Amino acid sequence: MEKRAVFSHKLLPYALLAPQLLVTIVFFYWPAAQAVYQSFLIQDAFGISTEFVWFENYQMLFSEPAYYGALLTTALFSTAVTVLSLSLALILAVEADKNLTGAGLYKTLLIWPYAVAPAVAGVLWLFMFQPSLGMIGRSLHAFGFNWNPYLNSGDAFTLITAAAVWKQISYNFLFFLAGLQSIPKSLIEAAAIDGAGSTRRFWTIVFPLLSPTAFYLLTVNIVYVFFDTFGIIHAVTRGGPAGATTTLVYKVFSDGQAGGDLGGSAAQSVILMLIVIALTAVQFRFIERKVTY
């Protein structure tokens, strides 16, 4: 059943919606429109003259090999971070849901990383893994690993992935734990009496009932990897070495802010926006169907 409030005054509903609409328009639609407009312009290096060029910025972008590199990096990075942070969080949540001694402390500690700002998280991980100063970096060298995220692109990618996963696990953990706790205990007991062992119970009862949570988290995680990991990358690798950790959002920043190519940067952000819109639409259209609410 649907509940509807009925307003007698015609303007009242709009007045009530206004604050939310205003925020959305000022902070979302306006900048987005600006980006679209900007992507059709080319400015000279000093910002004196501006020319309207239609799709020239886009043409240049797609003829640039570095852009395809950033696309590939983003694809790998987002897959790695989403898969790892979701699966690790699920394992931790399942364990925390059991009757452990000290479960409360365990849960609290798991939630803390979420309160750490991305850039700070990046710096912390850099401190630990810095090849000549970091504790873990030095240990790796002591054990004979030639670890150097400044020079080795694989190492750099691993480091930012680890930091991004670590930061996102808390959030996923919280939602998975809440999801697990909302499953009635009698369902699990009924399944146990019905002859399902604990593994089978998990895959046939618990996991399907968690699927709405998992679906929501998948969407949120992809958006997180696309945008919010900027702070980590900027603090740890600055997109290097040799562009190995330059994701799409980092390239928007480095081309626009550092490279001064505002039009090209705007074109990139428009494409990025379209990719995220498309991904979210695909998720809702195809994955949501298999989700049982």
Partner 1 sequence: MAGVLLNSVGKTYAGNIRAVSDISFAVPDGGFCVLVGPSGCGKSTLLRMIAGLETITDGEISIGGRVVNQVEPMHRDIAMVFQNYALYPHMSVYDNMAYGLRNRKTPEPEIATRVAEAARILELEPFLKRRPKQLSGGQRQRVAMGRAIVRKPQVFLFDEPLSNLDAKLRGQMRVEIKTLQRQLGVTSVYVTHDQLEAMTLADMLVVMNRGRIEQIGEPLYLYENPATIFVAGFIGAPPMNMIPLAPATGVPAGILGAETLPVPPTGAILGIRPEHLHLDRGETALGDRLRLELKIDAVEAVGAETYFYGHLGSTGPRLVVREAGRGSASPHGIRAFTADRTQIHLFDKVSGNRIEL
Q: Binding residues for partner 1, per CB under 8 A?
A: 184, 186-187, 189-197, 200, 204-205, 208-209, 292
Q: Which is nearer to partner 1, 64 or 97 (CB)?
A: 97
Contact between 87 and 171 (Cβ < 8 Å): no
Minimum separation from the CB atom of position 182 to partner 1 (A): 11
Provide the 10 A C-beta neighbour count for residue 57.
Answer: 22
Minimum separation from the CB atom of position 180 to partner 1 (A): 15
- The rounded radius of gyration (Å) of the Cα atoms in the chain is 23
Minimum separation from the CB atom of position 172 to partner 1 (A): 21
Minimum separation from the CB atom of position 88 to partner 1 (A): 25
Minimum separation from the CB atom of position 222 to partner 1 (A): 24
Q: Which is nearer to partner 1, 111 or 188 (CB)?
A: 188
Question: If DSSP codes are grouped into helix, strand and coil, which group holds residue 259?
Answer: coil
Per-residue b/e over 252-270, b at no fewer than 16 CB within 10 Å? bbbbbeeeebbbbbbbbbb
Q: Which is nearer to partner 1, 188 or 273 (CB)?
A: 188
Minimum separation from the CB atom of position 189 to partner 1 (A): 5
The whole-angstrom separation of Cα 43 and Cα 46 is 8
Minimum separation from the CB atom of position 190 to partner 1 (A): 4
Q: Which is nearer to partner 1, 51 or 189 (CB)?
A: 189
What does the block give as tokens for 131? Answer: 């090849």
The whole-angstrom separation of Cα 260 and Cα 224 is 26
Minimum separation from the CB atom of position 159 to partner 1 (A): 40
Going by C-beta distance under 8 Å and a sequence separation of 6 or more, which residues neighbour residue 204? 191, 196
In 3D space, the residue among 274, 178, 162 whose CA is nearest the CA of residue 217 turns out to be 178
What does the block give as tokens for 201? Answer: 């119970």
Q: Which is nearer to partner 1, 115 or 193 (CB)?
A: 193
Going by C-beta distance under 8 Å and a sequence separation of 6 or more, which residues neighbour residue 78? 222, 225, 226
Q: Which is nearer to partner 1, 20 or 186 (CB)?
A: 186
The whole-angstrom separation of Cα 158 and Cα 80 is 10
What does the block give as tokens for 48? Answer: 């004196």
Query: Alpha carbon 132 to chain centroid distance?
Result: 30
Q: Which is nearer to partner 1, 192 or 218 (CB)?
A: 192
Q: Which is nearer to partner 1, 148 or 211 (CB)?
A: 211
**Amino acid at the residue 274:** L
What does the block give as tokens for 9? Answer: 């005054």
